[in-house]
Copies of this chain bind each other. A is one copy, B any other.
Amino acid sequence: MNDDHNRLRLLRAGIDTYQQPVVYMHRDCPVCRSEGFSALTRVLMRCGSRELVATLNVVTDDWLALDAAALSEAAWSALAPGSEAWATFEHPEPAASAPALRAKVFGQRLQEPDFLALMQDTLNNRLADIELAAFVTACAGERLDRAETIALTRAMVAVGQRLDWGAGPVLDKHCVGGLPGNRTTPIVVAIIAAAGYRIPKTSSRAITSPAGTADTMEVMAPVALDTASMRRVVEREGGCIVWGGAVRLSPADDVLIRVERPLDFDSDGQLVASVLSKKIAAGSSHVLIDLPVGPTAKVRSTAAAERLETLLRATAEAAGLSLGLMRTDGRQPVGYGIGPALEARDVLAVLRGTGDAPADLRERAVVLAAALLDLVPGTPSYPGRQRAEDLLRSGAALSKFLSICEAQGGFREPQAAPHVRSIAATRGGSILDIDNRRLAKIAKLAGAPASPSAGIDCRLRLGDRVRVGEPLFEVHAQTPGELEYALSYASTQTEVFRVGEEP
């Protein structure tokens, strides 16, 4: 074929389409005409030694020249063209995993090579968003069995890098999300590292919540470390709390999240594969999973917790992981703050042992750290609980935390928001229920996590009594506009706190 027919020079479109690579071409350009491309066609681009499959959006007016193709931000960074670069364009062969995807959609069980092909194609952008959505849907409900969950987990690990820390235990903890303010990770990591163990913790940014652990940690220290920097921190301090996105453990899972987030289908099999593939890739040997259970938490019932635990255990066993599982109270927020800086303030108060430290956050962190310490074989006759308490009380955990922050690039104090307003109770009585989801939504409307100091400060707990006009919680915001926006929503949500008398 004549090269002139399918070459275009590359421009940067300056359009963010999230992770899906998009290429813009004029409808009258020679490539669209000769290849028969139209809107949403999947297009294979080659530029130097790199290649990329992107989705076509067709330009219908003259902002794009006929000899050029413009790339979305995701396509631009994946193809990384030099200046004056050209690319060639053609129809891609069907993705190698297309038969496996079709088989799963039609209800067949898949084997490990099928999942491997699917994860490889997911990682290489060979599957479009609608195909990823089909895969996620085909696995939802009970449609991913135990053997398939194990195979999917292995496939996720296989397509990414796997860290190796040499001999000896490598600890980790994970919380199956859904509980605002439940920021135990920085405290647990500090205690475990102070105890002399390695705990190379990677955390996510918020997906649908007002703050992820990485967002909270970033208020206090840099978290966007690459693998080499992360290794340096862990080798020096034993532990780290970094953002997983730059380390790219189980990177295919990160791609799947771009459709799982908007679809919001909770599937046990995919949740297990997502969580455990990251732990296996991180080189962990002993992992504690915190499962908050409550009607507005992610795990809503004891039965749901049991199903999830069975699958977690089977998959961990297949991977040779020592797994600890701990169900915790998921009925209400933990700590006072919801939002990156407010949660960081609570974390520091616990580590510093100040009088206003939230007791529930402290207790949960100690219980989790104790369970993790007790999970490691050969621990001396010094119960985990006592050891965790000692390390926290003595200031060893605080000192370790500050050292980790320094190693990650330097500690900084969380900043308070300039705009704060209280929401008052409209009736008196006991706090009977707290709706975690609506509370999280108010914090997000106030600007969290993009505005780090934004969020909610709430000191009431189930069973506490309030009188009409007394504050239920405070909304914190960085701008008056964001404050108004959150208050306007909050004013319509009288059921965030259900106040009344016990029946």
Q: Are B36 and A263 in contact (CB under 8 A)?
A: no
Q: How far is the CB of A90 from chain B (nearest CB, A)?
A: 10
A35→B15 CA distance, assembly (Å): 19
A10-60 residues with Cβ-Cβ distance < 8 A to B are: 12, 14-18, 22, 24, 27, 34-36, 38-40, 42, 57-60
Q: Are A1 and B484 in contact (CB under 8 A)?
A: yes
- Segment of A130-138, A340-348, A420-428, A432-440 in the binding face: A130-138
A42→B141 CA distance, assembly (Å): 25
Q: Are A2 and B484 in contact (CB under 8 A)?
A: yes
Q: Which residues of B contact A138 (CB under 8 A)?
A: 137, 140
The answer, among B39, B42, B136, B137, for a CB contact under 8 Å with A16, is B39
A120-139 residues with Cβ-Cβ distance < 8 A to B are: 128-134, 136-138
Q: Is A107 an interface residue (CB 8 A)?
A: yes
Q: Is A66 an interface residue (CB 8 A)?
A: no
Q: How far is the CB of A38 from chain B (nearest CB, A)?
A: 8
Query: Nearest residue in B to A72 (C-beta to C-beta)?
Result: B57
Q: Are B57 and A140 in contact (CB under 8 A)?
A: no
The answer, among B16, B42, B129, B447, for a CB contact under 8 Å with A57, is B16
Q: Are B15 and A59 in contact (CB under 8 A)?
A: yes
Q: Are B130 and A14 in contact (CB under 8 A)?
A: no
Q: Is A318 an interface residue (CB 8 A)?
A: no
Q: Is A488 an interface residue (CB 8 A)?
A: yes
Q: Are B137 and A107 in contact (CB under 8 A)?
A: no
Identical chains in the assembly: 2
A217-252 residues with Cβ-Cβ distance < 8 A to B are: none
A134→B445 CA distance, assembly (Å): 28
Q: Which residues of B contact A479 (CB under 8 A)?
A: 34
Q: Which residues of B contact A60 (CB under 8 A)?
A: 14-16, 73
Q: How far is the CB of A209 from chain B (nearest CB, A)?
A: 13
Q: Is A109 an interface residue (CB 8 A)?
A: no
Q: Are A265 and B485 in contact (CB under 8 A)?
A: no
Q: Is A320 an interface residue (CB 8 A)?
A: no
Q: How far is the CB of A14 from chain B (nearest CB, A)?
A: 3
Q: Is A82 an interface residue (CB 8 A)?
A: no
A312→B42 CA distance, assembly (Å): 33
Q: Are A130 and B259 in contact (CB under 8 A)?
A: yes
Q: Is A3 an interface residue (CB 8 A)?
A: no
Q: Which residues of B contact A484 (CB under 8 A)?
A: 1-2
A5-B481, A136-B134 known; A63 and B61 CB under 8 Å?
Answer: no
9 new A-B contacts at CB < 8 Å, known A131-B262, A133-B134, A134-B137:
A1-B484, A14-B62, A15-B59, A17-B39, A18-B39, A40-B262, A57-B72, A129-B133, A137-B137
12 contacts between A and B (CB under 8 A): A1-B485, A1-B488, A5-B485, A15-B58, A16-B59, A18-B39, A34-B481, A57-B72, A63-B63, A128-B262, A134-B136, A137-B137
